[in-house]
Amino acid sequence: MKTKNLILAGAALFLSVGLMAQPKGGSEKAKGLTVEEKASKQTEKMTEMLQLNEKQKSDVAEINLSFTKQTDEIKDRYQKQMREELKAAKLEKDTKLKEALTSDQYKKMKDFEEKEEMTSRKNQKAQKVQKDLRTLNK
């Protein structure tokens, strides 16, 4: 029982230190990995760092997989909720601006927003291409 508690404490410490060390938005390396791949990487790092035996490695792998699934689900829920709240706030702002502005001013504002959004999308695509090129050159 003490061994299991020690493993759990070690896992919690390892993960909390790892999470604090990551840049905002998560590690670029972690993006695109499956839940299983993330948990496996965590387990391998812990196995090396803590010199786990096979039983411990198996237990830690199960714990890491469960934790990673749980945190991914929480992140997904939070992001969905945030998108919905932002959409509602934008709609409320838009409604109030429509009342405050003349129809010409409102149209001009919407045209500008559309142009800015298109520019932003182009920039995002260009950044993705540059990132992909850097990855290929490594």
Render pLDDT for 32-58 as a digit per residue (tens, 0 to 9).
899 999 999 999 999 999 999 999 999
More confident residue, 99 or 19: 99
Nearest to 71 by CA among 14, 17, 8, 15: 15
Alpha-carbon distance 138 to 133, whole Å?
9
Q: Which residues of 66-90 are buried (b: 16+ CB within 10 A; e: fewer)?
A: ebbeeeeeeeeeeeeeeeeeeeeee
Who's near 9: CB < 8 A, 6+ residues apart? none
Is 14 within 8 Å of 49 (Cβ atoms)? yes
Q: Output the pTM of the full model.
A: 0.50
